[in-house]
């Protein structure tokens, strides 16, 4: 389990547009931390900075005790799930899941075992040889999740991962993601527009407004909801 800390973090684009102002927050190891706020308030920018896909203009970011401002994404031991899942259309489900593992010098047997294990957890065993276009939306979502957890990443970043699913599947996947996060002890940083997702999944919720933290608290404090 890993902790993520932002200390006076600022993000400015083109030397003039500041989109995040002095962000101070510590996301605890194993916490399910939800980021909400209106479109354009800086949620994706914050996720991308944590992932190492954007430079930090000022301030420090820590993973556990280590300052990671200059640490490249692959060294951060985190995984990311996007709204559109970003699966490779020409690769099979098994190849999509194992894609990141080949860079880690793992043996073929180890990779195969991992793929089998994670496929079982996410009920994808029957689909390993299919291509993404042969899957339903929920199954694709699960492949993206499988790819995110197969590497044993201790931090997972999700940017509106359920927004393309129908209501029934969203309800189901909400529970599935939450359960998996708990079971694996993943530190989750989860962006959503959906108040129900925030309330039912989040240990804490942070509301961003025009690049500033407006409020951080438990769901009951934010929405008056147990
Ligand atoms: P959100 O995810 O909350 O919708 P974003 O983090 O995508 O917000 O964007 C925050 C602000 O930063 C927006 O005003 C957006 O226009 C601006 N922004 C995002 N990326 C860039 C970029 N590459 N260059 C300049 N401005 C950007
Ligand atoms: P490649 O030709 O690149 O090895 P494969 O489709 O054979 O592509 O497999 C990709 C990865 O997923 C491999 O590491 C393989 O061990 C694993 N894999 C493939 N099919 C299965 C399967 N049915 N069950 C478990 N793991 C599989």
12 CA → ligand 1 middle, Å: 10
pLDDT digits (tens, 9 = 90+) for 81-95: 988 788 999 999 999
Ligand 1 nearest-atom number relative to CA 47: 6
| pLDDT greater than 90 at residue 60 | yes
Output b/e per residue, 118-133; b: 16+ Cβ within 10 A.
Answer: bbebbebeebbeebbe
As a residue count, the chain comes to 226
Cβ(146) – ligand 2 distance below 6 Å: no
Please give the pLDDT value at position 2: 94
- Calculate what percentage of the chain has a pLDDT beyond 70: 99
210 CA → ligand 1 middle, Å: 10
| pLDDT greater than 80 at residue 226 | no
Structure-block tokens of residue 83 = 């709204």
Cβ(19) – ligand 1 distance below 6 Å: yes
pLDDT digits (tens, 9 = 90+) for 1-14: 799 999 999 999 99
**Rounded-to-integer distance, Cα 77 and Cα 80, Å:** 10
**Ligand number, closest to the Cα atom of 57:** 1
| pLDDT greater than 80 at residue 224 | no
Read off the pLDDT of each residue in 133-154 and give the average, rounded to a whole number: 91
Please give the pLDDT value at position 74: 86
Provide the mean pLDDT of the chain.
92
Read off the pLDDT of each residue in 185-195 and give the average, rounded to a whole number: 94
* Rounded alpha-carbon distances, angstroms, from residue 162 to 119, 173, 205: 19, 8, 17
Say if CB 137 and CB 166 are below 8 A apart: yes
pLDDT digits (tens, 9 = 90+) for 91-115: 999 999 999 888 778 899 999 999 9
40 CA → ligand 1 middle, Å: 6
């Amino acid at each position: 389990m890993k902790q993520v800390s932002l200390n006076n973090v600022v993000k400015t684009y083109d030397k003039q547009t500041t989109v995040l102002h002095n962000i101070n927050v510590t996301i605890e190891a194993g916490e399910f931390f939800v980021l909400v706020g209106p479109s354009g308030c800086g949620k994706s920018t914050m996720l991308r900075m944590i992932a190492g896909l954007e430079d930090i203009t000022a301030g420090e970011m820590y993973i556990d005790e280590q300052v990671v401002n200059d640490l490249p994404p692959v060294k951060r031991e985190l995984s990311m799930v996007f709204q559109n899942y970003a699966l490779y259309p020409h690769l099979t489900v098994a190849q999509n899941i194992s894609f990141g593992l080949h860079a880690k010098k793992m043996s073929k047997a180890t990779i195969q075992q991992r793929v089998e294990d994670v496929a079982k957890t996410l009920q994808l065993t029957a689909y390993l040889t299919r291509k993404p276009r042969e899957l339903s939306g929920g199954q694709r979502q699960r492949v993206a999740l499988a790819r995110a957890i197969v590497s044993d990443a201790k931090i997972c970043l999700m940017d509106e991962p359920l927004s393309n699913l129908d209501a029934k599947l969203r309800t189901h996947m909400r529970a599935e993601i939450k359960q998996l996060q708990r079971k694996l002890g993943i530190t989750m940083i989860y962006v959503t527009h959906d108040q129900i997702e925030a309330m039912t999944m989040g240990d804490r919720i942070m509301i961003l407004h025009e690049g500033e933290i407006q409020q951080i608290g438990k769901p009951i404090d934010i929405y008056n909801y147990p």
